[in-house]
Chain A
Amino acid sequence: MSPRSQFMLGIRTIAPVIVGLIPFGLISGVVAVEAGIPPEAAWSMSWIMFAGASQIVMSQLVSAGAAEWVIILSASVVNLRMLMYSAALATTFKPLSNGVKVLLSYLLTDQAFVVSVNRYSEHPDEPLTLKVWFYLGAALALWLPWQITSAIGVWLGASVPEEWGLLFAAPLSFIAIWVPGLKDRPLVVAAIVGGAVAVVLAFLPNRLGLIIAAVAGIAAGYMYEEQASKGRMHPAPAVRDNDEVA
């Protein structure tokens, strides 16, 4: 396998996922503009942040008039799951130069992580260079359509009247990634508690309720899982399939 064919293989492997990415890219651009963010800044979010859920959270909170620190914290916290991906890839990427590590880290997404880890576990003996080219193929095949669809979304958002209520597409896009991710009971508990606390505390200033609700939901899911595993007298599976979130 040459670097080139490995790069192409990465692109082909991730290709089916790209169709699913299109609506999120469009929505991320649309809601940013509808939230009142200037078009240049709205589009720049897609390459500076390069994280769909995070971009949409920021737009939503900017339009809701949340405090700056709440925006920063919320938009960053939704990306914390990528700590897991970083940890899982660290051993494979260990011998690489720091510059390459920075590039690969910038391009890290749910989808690129999943296809690369699958590839590495099926072909553990492949040389590192080829592994990196596969990753780059997959990651860039995701990066480029993201930039293009966000730009189209920004353009659409600027031309669609506000009365259409397109800002409502933000929570709808979250529903599309949230509901399929609720794969077991502890996750459902985390979701119900997080959602309920957020509704009750919705009138706290600066959207402060969002932070409290998120912490409450995480704690509830975690404790529920602990209790359930004690009840069964054997440990609960600590790590499941990584939830795919754009």
Chain B
Amino acid sequence: MNIWLLIVIVGVLTFLIRYSFIALVGRVGMPARLQRALRFVPAAVLAALIMPELIYRNGVFSPIRLAAGTVAILVAWRTKNAIFTMTAGMIVLWILQGMTGA
């Protein structure tokens, strides 16, 4: 599929999510169960996106990525600072790549 088509489809779906209840106001409320489930979406989806990336590189176990990712998780936990987190992770990745010649 054309990349432009993908971008437009996700763009439209994202807009519809934003517009949903604003458009439907007064007619439909948010069901309590849905609201309680939505709370878990970022935690679960991000975990599912992050973890395989920290463990595999091109389908092979990558200790370098795991080390860099673990450092980033610790920095994020201690500092809650996005710039520190990303910088620490990339620096560890580059150092270990340099040391192993990977």
Interface residues of A (CB under 8 A from B): 20, 23-24, 27, 37-38, 41, 44-45, 48-51, 53-54, 57-58, 60, 62, 68, 71-72, 74-87, 89-91, 93-94, 98, 101-102, 104-106, 108, 164-166, 168-182, 186-188, 190-199, 202-203, 209-210, 213-218, 220-222, 225, 238-240, 243, 245
Contact = CB atoms under 8 A, between A and B. Distances in A.
Contacts, number: 272
Contacts of B42: 53, 78, 81, 177-178, 181, 243, 245
Interface residues of B, number: 67
B21 A86 contact: yes
Contacts of A62: 3, 6
Contacts of B51: 194-196, 198-199
Secondary structure class of chain B's binding surface, majority of residues: helix
A168 B47 contact: no
A239 to B, nearest CB: 6
Nearest to B62: A168
B7 A172 contact: no
A222 B52 CA distance: 23
Contacts of A27: 86
Contacts of B3: 37-38, 41, 62
A165 B85 contact: no
